[in-house]
Amino acid sequence: MGYKYAGYEIATNVLRRAETLDKEVLRKAIADTHMDTMVGHIQYNSENYCRTPLVGGQRVKGDQFPWDVKIVENRQHPYIPMTGKIFSM
């Protein structure tokens, strides 16, 4: 769900900067994207893609809300803190 939300963040940012629906202006605005989103920093490279960090999460019974997502795996990105341990039944 986070990546879908980030897609809306990017689209909103691009449309605001482009100030038009002209295809060429939109393409340039997309190429010039340099922003932080829910899933991390977005800046496209010369091949028109951007890598974002991916960690493992698990939903657990929450304290404030019915469910919380805990980060339970971060081996590829250890700078993202773990917030829980894998729970199995």
pLDDT single digits (tens) 68-89: 989 999 999 999 999 998 877 6
DSSP state at residue 10:
H
CA atoms of 89 and 79, how far apart (whole Å)? 29
Q: What is the pLDDT of residues 4-30, one digit of tens each?
A: 999 999 999 999 999 999 999 999 999
pTM: 0.70
Residue pair 35/44 in contact by the 8 Å Cβ criterion:
no
- Which pLDDT does position 89 carry in this prediction? 65
